[in-house]
């Protein structure tokens, strides 16, 4: 069994609060995975880029789990598009730190910029490389909104190179596995599937009335959105659907602007809500600590996820663990997470009338809501960090030559 693993998360620190800037499901994934692996006796070092002068060089998060902030250019936030010029500096900083102590048995990079660094480090250290993209540029472009810029050629070319030079690429779902085959020509023997998990000690059912009172949320039908605010997440669809529903519901949005166009998207959404006459029923709440989201899931009647692209949909998995049914786009990995007609309702991407009808049905039919709430709980047991760690340890042993293989 491997003893040490190095996780590369250049563009965002796993300790950052999800829903802010570029922090989202990937942050949760890396942090929860690192905690789980450390709990299994594996030494875990996570390397991220220093994005603020207040960030310490090294943070001991738990026993055996450390985060290292690598100096790679100015200590300030940088858009992902600006990180490519700093990949060399980041890689050199990681390499210097690794060479100062015991080497890892495996490198595991997260996202395409970290994958680029991972390839450089693999060549320098002679250590096997696994990569998780979490989102793919060519797949995002298929259903992006017309005013969104397409993925850069640098990104898609880098993704191709990382796929070709990694020892294994880890897909979150069978749908992402197929996307890697169909859109990137990946070799199937170099791919594996391992979905993220859920912390069932935190994300579990709770009393709705108590949760609403504690959070100060309004009474009556309540729809929740949780995540970063950007065009990709389809909040414009959710607001339009709200305006066309027969049920008079509140929409609570927990999250903050993301990316260079994030604040412009917030302004657009507020103007849209006002123009449709539902401005007083759309409530924006600042990003919350990850564990605090459980209270919001417990307080809501439905989770809406109108994403235009979604590799997995961790928020949907967590919501279901709290017994919250999901109304979501039938896109990417969401059908793997949400079982249509059992734990939620899936509709076409951007189909505002269909979202309105699905939410109306769920919120007006108590029997349907109760059945889907139970279905959500049952579906959620398929996802655990223990299961994720089991699968990845098998994979790590296989590609590092310490096991019997991972396929």
Q: Which residues of the chain have pLDDT under 50?
A: 403-407
Query: What residue has token string 């080497």?
Result: 103
> What's the CA gap between 391 and 171, in Å, rounded?
12
Cross-strand partners of 285: 254
Decide the pairing of beta strands 129-132 and 65-70.
Answer: unpaired
Q: Which residues of 271-402 form beta strands (DSSP E)?
A: 282-285, 302-305, 326-329, 344-347
**Counting beta carbons within 10 angstroms of the beta carbon of residue 78, is it exposed (0 to 12), middle (13 to 18) or buried (19 or more)?**
middle
> What's the CA gap between 27 and 88, in Å, rounded?
22
Count other C-beta atoms under 10 Å from residue 55's C-beta.
18
Structure tokens at 99: 């060479």
> What's the CA gap between 390 and 374, in Å, rounded?
27
Query: What residue has token string 């250290």?
Result: 125
Count other C-beta atoms under 10 Å from residue 16's C-beta.
18
> What's the CA gap between 267 and 163, in Å, rounded?
38
Q: What is the pLDDT of residue 149?
A: 87
Beta carbons within 8 Å of 320's beta carbon, 6+ residues apart:
326, 337, 338, 343, 344, 376, 377, 379, 380
Give all domains of the chain, ordered by start, each with its CATH number: 4-197+384-399 (3.40.50.2000), 208-380 (3.40.50.2000)
Q: What is the pLDDT of residue 186?
A: 95
> What's the CA gap between 123 and 45, in Å, rounded?
19
Eight-state DSSP code of residue 92:
H
Q: Are 256 and 21 in contact (CB under 8 A)?
A: yes
Q: What is the pLDDT of residue 401?
A: 78
> What's the CA gap between 127 and 105, in Å, rounded?
7
Decide the pairing of beta strands 191-193 and 168-171.
Answer: parallel
Query: What residue has token string 């936030």?
Result: 77
Q: What is the pLDDT of residue 407?
A: 42
Decide the pairing of beta strands 58-62 and 65-70.
Answer: antiparallel
**Counting beta carbons within 10 angstroms of the beta carbon of residue 219, is it exposed (0 to 12), middle (13 to 18) or buried (19 or more)?**
exposed
pLDDT digits (tens, 9 = 90+) for 6-25: 999 999 899 887 766 666 78
Structure tokens at 148: 């969104």
Q: Is 255 in a helix, a strand, or coil?
A: coil
Cα within 13 Å of Cα(407), Cβ side: 7
């Amino acid at each position: 069994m491997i003893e040490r693993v190095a996780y590369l998360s250049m563009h965002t620190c796993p300790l950052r609060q999800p829903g802010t800037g570029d922090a989202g499901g990937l942050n949760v994934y890396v942090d929860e995975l690192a905690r789980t692996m450390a709990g299994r006796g594996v030494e875990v070092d996570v390397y991220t880029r220093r994005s603020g002068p207040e960030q310490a060089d090294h943070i001991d998060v738990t026993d055996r789990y450390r985060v290292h902030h690598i100096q790679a250019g100015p200590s300030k936030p940088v858009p992902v598009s600006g990180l490519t010029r700093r990949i060399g500096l980041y890689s050199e900083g990681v390499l210097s730190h690794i060479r100062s102590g015991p080497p890892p048995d495996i490198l595991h990079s997260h996202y395409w910029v970290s994958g680029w660094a991972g390839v450089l480090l693999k060549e320098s250290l002679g250590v096997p490389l696994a990569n998780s993209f979490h989102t793919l540029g060519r797949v995002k472009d298929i259903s992006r909104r017309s005013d969104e810029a397409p993925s850069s050629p640098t990104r898609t070319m880098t993704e191709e190179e990382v796929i070709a030079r990694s020892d294994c690429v880890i897909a979150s779902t069978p749908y992402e596995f197929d996307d890697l085959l169909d859109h990137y020509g990946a070799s199937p023997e170099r791919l594996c599937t391992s979905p993220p998990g859920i912390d069932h000690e935190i994300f579990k059912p709770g009393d709705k009335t108590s949760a609403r009172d504690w959070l100060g949320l309004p009474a009556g039908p309540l729809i929740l959105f949780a995540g970063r605010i950007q065009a990709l997440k389809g909040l414009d669809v959710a607001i339009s659907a709200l305006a066309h529903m027969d049920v008079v519901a509140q929409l609570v949005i927990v999250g903050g602007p993301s990316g260079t166009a994030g604040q412009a998207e917030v302004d657009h959404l507020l103007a849209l809500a006002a123009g449709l006459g539902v401005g007083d029923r759309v409530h924006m709440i600042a990003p919350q600590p990850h564990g605090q989201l459980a209270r919001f899931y417990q307080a809501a009647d439905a989770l809406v996820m109108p994403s235009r692209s979604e590799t997995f949909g961790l928020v949907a998995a967590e919501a279901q663990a709290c017994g919250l049914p999901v109304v979501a786009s039938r896109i990417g990995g969401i059908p793997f997470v949400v079982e249509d007609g059992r734990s939620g309702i899936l509709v076409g991407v951007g189909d505002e009338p269909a979202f309105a009808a699905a939410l109306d049905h769920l919120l007006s039919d108590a029997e349907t809501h109760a059945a889907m709430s139970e279905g959500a709980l049952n579906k959620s047991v398929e996802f655990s960090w223990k299961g994720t760690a089991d699968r990845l340890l098998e994979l790590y042993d296989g590609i590092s030559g310490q096991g019997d293989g991972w396929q």
